[in-house]
């Protein structure tokens, strides 16, 4: 083993021991625990070089060493393999997810599962409307002058709006409006619908134009103008499981960040298909999360990404296991959406 490879092995051993024990790691412990094939003196020299290069540090005098953000980053970047999930873990995920009855159930099962498996804070974004397509639009008469518009997307999201009509509307007219909007909009991406909604009004005969205009206004509000995204969060209590060195001794900034949905969306959104992103410590652009790490992945049917999910915890994290779990859960959720 050349010196560079040996230093990486020493760093790997330090990361693994510190994640497991929550205690700074000394050279004697490394020699006792790991078969590095070199003398304790060589290990001490390698640790000195790693400290000089900024990959490990000594939290206080006469203590062992702990990884720095740069050390964790090098460890993650040099991972030769992601710890595979056991057959039992895969079966548990499949059984837990397969019982979901609707999109809300899928999201809440997913966020609870991630928190339980990783022992971190889990965040799951509902499928984004901006990335969804219209599956079906239903019009339900509430009274002679009021309809309920129900939009169902291809990702299972359901949006409901009341439509106040300009005057009494017969069941036959409701049926005709339902037929026309579905012919024009079903299967279309929500981002492509504004011009199609306008055509619905332009192509409508004079007798139904007033009703279609009212409906079109609510359609645009539902299809286009609804910009807020929804999130589910679980496992916040897991933040208290760590040691005194986690989160630089205080959880307050992290908890404040978790209250801001905009921050959480930045952490788990905008991911490429089938990729996993790991942000460590200072790599987080949010000041309150400089002591945390985030592992996230996009999910969706096939290669289409409709939302993000991930976990947040201390930089002292089981990265191989967490990456494997986040990837596996994202894949199961994507498969569920594809089936439904």
The predicted pLDDT at position 316 comes to: 92
pTM: 0.81
Distances in Å between the Cα of 32 and the Cα atoms of 3, 35, 36 are: 20, 8, 9
The predicted pLDDT at position 80 comes to: 65
The predicted pLDDT at position 234 comes to: 96
> Which stretches of the chain score pLDDT less than 70?
1-2, 80-81, 224-228, 244, 270, 272-274, 340
The predicted pLDDT at position 242 comes to: 78
The predicted pLDDT at position 221 comes to: 82
Distances in Å between the Cα of 10 and the Cα atoms of 26, 190, 315 are: 11, 52, 18
The predicted pLDDT at position 114 comes to: 95
224-230: Cβ within 8 A, 24+ apart: 224/190, 224/191, 224/193, 224/194, 226/129, 226/159, 227/130, 229/125, 229/126, 229/128, 229/129, 229/261, 229/265, 229/269, 230/125, 230/126
How many helices and strands in the chain, by DSSP H and E?
12, 10
């Amino acid at each position: 083993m050349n010196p560079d490879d040996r230093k990486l092995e020493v760093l790997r051993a330090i990361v693994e021991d510190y994640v497991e024990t929550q205690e700074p790691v000394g050279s004697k412990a490394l020699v006792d625990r790991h078969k590095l094939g070199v003398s304790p003196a060589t290990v001490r020299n390698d640790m000195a070089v790693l400290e000089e290069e900024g990959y490990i540090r000594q939290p206080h005098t006469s203590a062992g060493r702990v990884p720095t953000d740069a050390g964790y980053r090098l460890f993650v970047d040099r991972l030769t393999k992601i710890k595979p999930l056991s057959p039992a873990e895969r079966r548990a995920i499949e059984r837990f997810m397969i019982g979901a009855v609707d999109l809300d159930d899928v999201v809440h099962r997913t966020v609870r599962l991630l928190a339980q498996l990783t022992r971190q804070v889990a965040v799951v974004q509902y499928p984004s409307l901006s990335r969804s397509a219209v599956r079906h639009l239903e019009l339900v008469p509430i009274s002679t002058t009021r309809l309920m518009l129900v939009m169902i997307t291809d990702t299972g999201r359901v949006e409901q709006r009341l439509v106040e009509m300009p005057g009494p509307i017969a069941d036959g007219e409701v049926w005709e409006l339902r037929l026309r909007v579905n012919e024009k909009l079903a299967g279309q991406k929500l981002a492509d619908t504004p011009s199609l909604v306008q055509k619905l009004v332009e192509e409508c005969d004079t007798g139904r134009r007033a009703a279609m205009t009212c409906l079109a206004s609510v359609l645009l509000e539902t299809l286009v103008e609804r910009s807020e995204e929804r999130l589910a969060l679980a496992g916040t209590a897991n933040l208290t499981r760590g040691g005194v060195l986690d989160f630089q001794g205080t959880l307050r900034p992290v908890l404040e960040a978790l209250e801001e949905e905009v921050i959480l969306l930045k952490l788990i959104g905008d991911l490429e298909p089938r990729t996993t992103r790991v942000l460590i410590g200072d790599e987080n652009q949010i000041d309150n999360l400089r002591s945390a790490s985030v592992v996230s992945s996009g999910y969706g049917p096939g290669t289409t990404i409709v939302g993000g999910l991930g976990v947040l915890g201390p930089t002292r994290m089981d990265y191989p296991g967490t990456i494997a779990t986040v990837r596996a859960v994202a894949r199961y959720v994507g498969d569920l959406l594809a089936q439904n």
